[in-house]
Structure 1
Amino acid sequence: MNTSALARNGRAEAERAARGSLTRGAARAGLAARGVIYLLVGVIALQIAFGESGQEADRRGALAEIAEKPFGAVLLWALGVGLVGMALWRLSEGVFGGAGEDGRSARKRLTALARCAFYSFVAYSVLEFAAGSGDGGGSSDEQSRDVTARVLDLPGGQWIVGAAGVGIVVVGLWIGARAVMRSYRKRLRLGEMSPGMRRLVDVTGVGGGAARGLVFAAAGAFAVRAAVDYRPDKAKGLDDTLRSFAGTPAGPALLACVAAGLVLFGLFSFCMARWRKV
């Protein structure tokens, strides 16, 4: 057998391993971990809407909430391991391609690698928090202001921040539109679900995806405003973005609706963990 044949066989074996039960388990653990974070952020935001919480409605706040519970340290480690699984799954998609007709396209692979990098950072921050040597990645609001301030100081910084903000707005609108159109259905094993389960998935998928997209779009709009005004303090992380909904004419009721949507997205992530094609 020549060298090229050995290389092809080696790649085929690696691809089979990447699509095997271990990778499927990592994907499902990662989706479940994502669900826990969104669920807790949504619950904290609901408490803020009703004036019952001083906790931050972001990842750090969610981790702090877990840490206060019985067996909190064990739960934090499990969450971190689940997020490591998410990063590894996205890495396998980037290298070998994902499920679906366009799973091997360059766009899908690059998106998967970007998600791998993001979830690697999130997993590291959660594991660091679980070990007692980190703050869960820090406050999302402080991070947004710090990054915006550094970029604004660069040549053409206003244009960079403004373009990034517009990009985030577009991503948010895209997320919301895909949720409303139920595009997630093509990634699910619908034939294995009961009619009631399909209805539950649609409620959580549409409501949760729309709320998530709205939060992204709002955060992007604040970034654009920071660029236009040359004011890094106008940039907002997840916590401040959510709190800003309470400052609209609709008041805390709008924040409560968005928060409920994030809870739905957490539940939708659990459904994805069970039924998603990997």
Structure 2
Amino acid sequence: MTTGSAAARGRGRARRAADSKAVAAGARAGFVARGIIYVLIGILSLRITFSGGGGKQADRGGAVAEIAGKPFGAALLWLLATALAGMALWRLSGAAFGQAGPDGKKANKRAMAAGRSVFYGFVSYSVLSYAAGDKSSGSGSSDENSRDVTAKVLDWPAGQWIVAIAGAAVAAAGAWIAVRALRRKFQEHLKMSGMTPKTRQMVTALGVFGGAARGVVFAVAGGFAVTAAVQHKPGKAKGMDDTLRSFADTPVGPWLLVFIAVGLVTYGVFSWACARWRKL
């Protein structure tokens, strides 16, 4: 047996593992978990609106704390973390072997899958840590984290440029997410032909509205980071919670926050639709 043939067989086994039903089930569970987080963030945002600016933080940490406070909260967090780990594993397989679709094997798509794998792996770990008793993990304030990281980076040589570029990248990513949602690009990744006409219309509406709202939040958060860099003021950087609260300070009052909050809930429901109809 040659080294080359052994390596080829090893790659074949890895490929079959990546295409296994277990990995697919993990991915679908991950979409369910993502949906839960966004629905809770949206609901927490609505609480901010109708509680006069108070309430729990409307970000991933707030969602984790909300789940933890429910009956069997610790068990639910373990399930959530496991599902997110499944999403990370599926994204990792996409980075290694390519994703579904005609351009799924392109280098840029595989690089994006790798980045998402790292992200979901980190989120899964933070939720697991919180469930295991580390209350400083998983539910930390996104606002404090953003300010702390920004302050540290601004003290580096060329720190302002680094923060500005990072903020611009986040803002551009948000705009890209919103535009793709409005152009219904997500339909390329869904089994649209397997839906009834009414279901297809509903899923499309969820994807457009929810994806656009999510993109706007990212774009605005990136804009705050750029402002923090230009003014050299770490306090200008905002996490998701403060970014969402900023929508209530616009001339239209809290109604813009309500609109965005409903959009985030919608994106959560869309994620559940992805769990059913996503091409894997």
Determine if the TM-score, normalized by the shorter chain, exceeds 0.5: yes
SS in 2 for 1:250: coil
Shift of 1:101: 1.1
1:110: how far off? 1.1
Amino acid aligned to 1:114:
G
CA contact (8 A) 1:171 1:213 kept: yes
- Are residue 49 (structure 1) and residue 49 (structure 2) matched? yes
Could you tell me which runs of 5 or more consecutive residues in structure 2 were left unpaired when the two chains were aligned: none
Query: What is the alpha-carbon distance in structure 2 between the residues aligned to residue 119 and residue 252 of structure 1?
Result: 31
In the alignment, which residue of structure 2 is the partner of 1:123? 124
Alignment of 1:220-231 (within 5 A): 220-231=222-233
1:102 aligns with 2:138: no
Partner letter of residue 237 of structure 1? G
**Contact 2:65–2:139 (8 Å) recurs in 1:** no
Deviation at 1:5, TM superposition (A): 2.1
Runs of 4+ in 1 over 3 A off after TM superposition: none
AA of the residue aligned to 1:248: T
TM-score by length of 1: 0.97
Say whether 1:153 aligns with 2:155: yes
Amino acid at match of 1:36: I
**SS of equivalent to 1:103:** coil
- Whole-angstrom distance in 2 between the partners of 1:71 and 1:137: 17
Distance 1:134 1:23 in 2: 30
Match of residue 187, structure 1, among 189, 195, 210: 189
Cα distance in 2 for residues equivalent to 1:255 and 1:241: 10
How much identity, in percent, do the aligned residues show?
Answer: 56
Distance 1:46 1:177 in 2: 25
Equivalent residue, structure 1, for 2:8: 8
1:172 corresponding residue in structure 2: 174
Q: Which amino acid aligns with 1:129?
A: Y
Which residue of 1 is the match for residue 24 of structure 2? Answer: 24
Aligned amino acid, residue 93 of structure 1:
G
Secondary structure in structure 2 of the residue aligned to 1:54: coil
| Whole-angstrom CA distance in 2 between matches of 1:199 and 1:76 | 33
Contact 1:122 1:137 in 2 (8 A): no
Indicate the RMSD between aligned Cα atoms, in angstroms: 1.1
Range 46-55 or range 267-276, more displaced:
46-55
> Which moves more between the two structures, 58-67 or 177-186?
58-67
Q: After TM superposition, give the deviation of residue 61 of structure 1 in Å.
A: 0.7
Moved more, 131-140 or 250-259: 131-140
TM-score normalised to structure 2 length: 0.97
Q: How far apart, CA to CA, are the structure 2 residues paired with 1:194 and 1:208?
A: 21
Deviation at 1:6, TM superposition (A): 2.5
Counterpart Cα distance in 2 of 1:92 and 1:266: 24
Paired residue total: 278
Corresponding residue for residue 71 of structure 1: 72
CA distance in 1, matches of 2:266, 2:227: 29
